[in-house]
Amino acid sequence: MSENKVNIEESLIRENLLAHSDKISAAAIVAGRQPNDVQLMAVSKFHSIEKVRVALEEGHRLFGENRVQEAAQKYLVLKNEFQDLRLHLIGPLQTNKVRQAIILFDVIETIDRPRLAKAIFNEREKSGICPDLYIQVNTGEEPQKAGVLPENLDDLVNLCRDDLKLPLKGLMCIPPANDEPALHFALLATMARRHHLQFLSMGMSSDFESAIKLGATHVRIGTNIFGARES
C-alpha cells in the first residue's frame, strides 16, 4: 500500500469515528437518553492492526471481533499497549476456544446454549477469570442463525445467573436481513427488562438510530468506520 493511500485511510477512519459519535449522541438525545448511555463499538473483523491503531490513537477504546483466532492475533499486542482497551466477542464461540476467549475478551456477547455456559463455568473454576456475558437471542427464529430461541431464553438466563452464578449482564441480537429491525430491537429490550439485564447490544450501520431509540447500550459498526473489509 502506498503511503498516500494509508494517509487517506487514516483520516477517513478518524472522520468516521467522529461522525458516528455525533450521530449516536444526537440519537440518544432525541430518545430522551444520555449520550453516554450508548457506546460505539468499532467492529474490526478482517481489518488490519494498523487500522485499529488509528482508532486507538484517536482515543477510541471499544472494539468488537467475531473470531477468537483473529482477535488474538491483533489484540494480545494492543491490549498490552492500551490497558483500557475493551474487546467484545460478537461471533459464535466453540467450546474448545473458551479458555482462550475468556482471557482475551472483556465481554462475550454470544452465549447461546447451556453447553457453552457450562464450559465457561468450568474454565472459570480453573482460572478464576470470567468476562461479562451477554446472551445472543435469535429473535427472528432463523434456522441458520446463532442465538438462543426466544422460548428458551428464560431457561438459559436461569442457568447462567442462578445456577452457575456467571456475570450475565446483557442481551444481543442480529435481526433478520429482510425484516423491520425495530420489531426485533423492541422484543430484545422487553426481554432484557423482564430479566433485569442492563446492557443491550443491538443496531449496526444501517439501523443504529432505531436501536438507540429502543434502548441499545452498544451499537456495532464496522464498514462505516474502517471501510470495506479487506478479505
Ligand X SMILES: *Cc1c(COP(=O)(O)O)cnc(C)c1O
CB of 164 closer than 8 Å to CB of 119: no
Provide, rounded to whole angstroms, the least separation between the CB of residue 3 and ligand X.
26
Provide, rounded to whole angstroms, the least separation between the CB of residue 34 and ligand X.
23
Distance from C-alpha of 202 to C-alpha of 185, rounded to nearest angstrom? 7
CB of 192 closer than 8 Å to CB of 154: no
CB of 68 closer than 8 Å to CB of 104: yes
- Measured from the CB atom, the residue of 46 and 82 that comes closer to ligand X is 46
Provide, rounded to whole angstroms, the least separation between the CB of residue 74 and ligand X.
15
- Could you tell me which of 84, 64, 211, 65 has the C-alpha nearest to residue 139? 211
Task: Estimate the share of the chain in helix, then strand, then coil, as percent rounded to the nearest 5.
Answer: 50, 15, 35
- Measured from the CB atom, the residue of 124 and 220 that comes closer to ligand X is 220
Residue with cell string 502506498 = 2
- Measured from the CB atom, the residue of 34 and 73 that comes closer to ligand X is 73
Of all residues in the shown chain, the one whose CB is closest to ligand X is: 222
Provide, rounded to whole angstroms, the least separation between the CB of residue 226 and ligand X.
8
For 45, phi and psi rounded to 5 degrees?
Answer: -60, 140
Hey, which bits of the chain come out as E strands?
39-43, 62-65, 86-89, 107-111, 132-136, 168-172, 199-201, 218-221
- Measured from the CB atom, the residue of 91 and 150 that comes closer to ligand X is 91
- Measured from the CB atom, the residue of 147 and 215 that comes closer to ligand X is 147
- Measured from the CB atom, the residue of 204 and 216 that comes closer to ligand X is 204
Provide, rounded to whole angstroms, the least separation between the CB of residue 122 and ligand X.
26
Contacting positions for ligand X (CB under 6 A): 43, 45, 66, 90-91, 174, 204-205, 220-224
Provide, rounded to whole angstroms, the least separation between the CB of residue 47 and ligand X.
9
CB of 39 closer than 8 Å to CB of 57: no
